[in-house]
């Protein structure tokens, strides 16, 4: 059988194989869409679009659900390039993002409108889709991907993680995020892996949804796994789930262990980037529980160590022809295990000594009772440090712990203790919100 050449041809083949098979289940109110029904929604969406969207970038902002797929597939049918945006942003911000990534049109609040940018030339082939970076470390960027690159990413993920056509994904991460595209969207389009869409991250609602629909794969983020581990849930709340995946940010070993002890499921760390798709995966979950790394390269992905703790990633899924260097510092061990060391560009002089803030954050996370750490220069005394710590410890025991374990010059002078870090809609720690906490 020939490999599909586009996301749309992959989906057409999936529908043709079994049009009546369930494709997507929405919760609140609950409704099941077959592959044929979802395809009909996409056809209706495409028929309502003006001809001028052809070969243009069209940004759209919708929550997870059938409407998201109708827009995504409908734009592909209209020969447009979909640009998924964060639906939690305001309408004004969504229009601003659409213009910043050079989209000619924006579908916001159920209406299509031009962005005032000139239409793109039709002389060059249009990409399959545009991923938009989160912008937490700078201005959001548009990263174009071909259909072949997206299909390759989905293939690498499904083969490495053992995600099968008959599996059911519990979908809580945003479809438009790189994580959601690779683990949820492409597996449905290319092989028919169905989705159960959760409309809330509340632990009891997720457990009830899992009990009703028996998902088998659960892509999650660390904050959600921690909330589930701490919630008053029965031990068999996720009995149907075979594979739990954690991505978006580093999973603290303590959180992974708490989740495993409660539900008997080992979380599997997954590491990737917007520019590359999936990079590494801990197939056993053992490294994740011990805090030893994020696993090994996905099948089809090559990781090469570069100087200064940088890595180079190449695969059929990478957006750049010559591969990509992620912004994270990382070390490839002789056995192929990848260990993350923090972000680049976070060196600081403290008391005349050079300090990597990422290294200090990692050191803090290894201390008992500290679930996560964010370190920055003190807002009022730049020669000293300040930190936000996710911890259940009260101030006095926390101070005693830090003074006993850290050199005095590395001990933050200002400490803000919180139960959990503020997160972006993509489930990552929000640097702007963390910095704001240090100003209070």
Q: What is the CATH number of the domain that holds 339?
A: 3.40.50.12780
Whether residue 235 is found in the same domain as residue 136? no
Whether residue 339 is found in the same domain as residue 411? no
Confidence label for 426 from pLDDT (cuts 50, 70 and 90)? low
What total number of domains does the chain contain?
Answer: 3
Task: Outline where DSSP puts E strands in 135-211.
Answer: 142-145, 168-171, 194-197
Whether residue 281 is found in the same domain as residue 365? no
Whether residue 212 is found in the same domain as residue 304? yes
pLDDT digits (tens, 9 = 90+) for 293-310: 999 999 999 999 999 889
For residue 385, the enclosing domain spans 347-439
Confidence label for 407 from pLDDT (cuts 50, 70 and 90)? confident
Whether residue 205 is found in the same domain as residue 339? yes
> At 305, which helix (H) or strand (E)?
strand 301-306
Choose among 345, 369, 364: nearest CA to 410: 364
Angle between helices 7-17 and 147-161 (to 10 degrees): 50
Assess whether pLDDT exceeds 80 at residue 252.
Answer: yes
Residue 194 lies in a domain: no
CA distances from 321 to 6, 57, 178, 281, 328 (A): 19, 22, 19, 23, 20
Residue 12 lies in a domain: yes
Instruction: Look at residue 4 in the predicted model and tell me its pLDDT.
Output: 76
Instruction: Look at residue 136 in the predicted model and tell me its pLDDT.
Output: 53
pLDDT, average across residues 383-405: 91
Q: pTM of the entire structure?
A: 0.84
Indicate the range of 13-17, 149-153, 406-410 predicted with least confidence: 406-410
Whether residue 393 is found in the same domain as residue 337? no
Instruction: Look at residue 1 in the predicted model and tell me its pLDDT.
Output: 43
Whether residue 334 is found in the same domain as residue 414? no
Whether residue 243 is found in the same domain as residue 318? yes
Whether residue 333 is found in the same domain as residue 364? no
Residue 278 lies in a domain: yes
Instruction: Look at residue 345 in the predicted model and tell me its pLDDT.
Output: 62
Eight-state DSSP code of residue 321: T
Task: Outline where DSSP puts E strands in 147-216.
Answer: 168-171, 194-197
């Amino acid at each position: 059988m020939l490999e599909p050449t586009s996301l749309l041809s992959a989906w057409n083949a999936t529908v043709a194989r079994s049009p009546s098979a369930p494709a997507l289940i929405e919760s609140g109110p609950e409704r099941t869409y077959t592959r044929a029904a979802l395809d009909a929604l996409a056809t209706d969406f495409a028929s309502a679009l003006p001809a001028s969207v052809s070969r243009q970038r069209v940004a759209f902002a919708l929550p997870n659900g059938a409407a998201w797929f109708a827009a995504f597939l409908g734009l592909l049918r209209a020969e447009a390039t979909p640009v998924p945006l964060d639906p939690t942003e305001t309408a004004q911000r969504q229009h601003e993002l659409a213009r910043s990534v050079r989209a000619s049109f924006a579908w916001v609040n159920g209406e299509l409108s031009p962005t005032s940018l000139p239409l793109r030339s039709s002389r060059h082939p249009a990409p399959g889709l545009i991923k938009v970076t989160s912008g937490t470390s700078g201005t959001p960027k548009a990263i174009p991907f071909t259909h072949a690159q997206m299909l390759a990413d989905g293939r690498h993920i499904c083969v490495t993680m053992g995600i099968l056509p008959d599996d059911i994904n519990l979908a809580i991460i945003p479809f438009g995020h790189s994580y959601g595209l690779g683990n949820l969207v492409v597996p449905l389009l290319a092989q028919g892996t169905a989705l159960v869409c959760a409309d809330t991250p509340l632990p009891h609602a997720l457990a009830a949804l899992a009990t009703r629909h028996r998902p088998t794969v659960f892509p999650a983020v660390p904050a959600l796994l921690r909330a589930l581990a701490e919630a008053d849930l029965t031990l068999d709340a996720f009995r149907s789930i075979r594979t739990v995946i954690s991505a978006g940010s580093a999973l603290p070993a303590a959180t992974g262990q708490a989740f495993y002890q409660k539900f008997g499921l080992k979380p599997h760390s997954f590491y990737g980037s917007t520019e590359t798709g999936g990079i590494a995966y801990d197939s056993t979950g053992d490294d994740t529980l011990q805090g030893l790394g994020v696993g090994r390269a996905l099948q089809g992905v090559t990781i090469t160590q570069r100087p200064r703790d940088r890595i180079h990633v190449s695969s059929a899924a990478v957006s750049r022809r010559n591969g990509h260097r992620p912004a994270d510092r990382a070390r490839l061990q002789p056995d192929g295990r990848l260990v993350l060391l923090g972000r680049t560009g976070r060196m600081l002089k403290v008391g005349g000594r050079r300090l990597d803030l990422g290294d200090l954050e990692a050191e803090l996370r290894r201390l008992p009772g500290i679930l996560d750490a964010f370190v920055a220069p003190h807002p009022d005394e730049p020669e000293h440090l300040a930190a936000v710590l996710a911890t259940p410890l009260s101030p006095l025991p926390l101070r005693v712990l830090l003074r006993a374990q850290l050199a005095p010059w590395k001990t933050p002078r200002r400490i803000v203790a919180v139960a959990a870090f503020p997160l972006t809609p993509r489930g990552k720690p929000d640097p702007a919100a963390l910095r704001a906490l240090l100003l209070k």
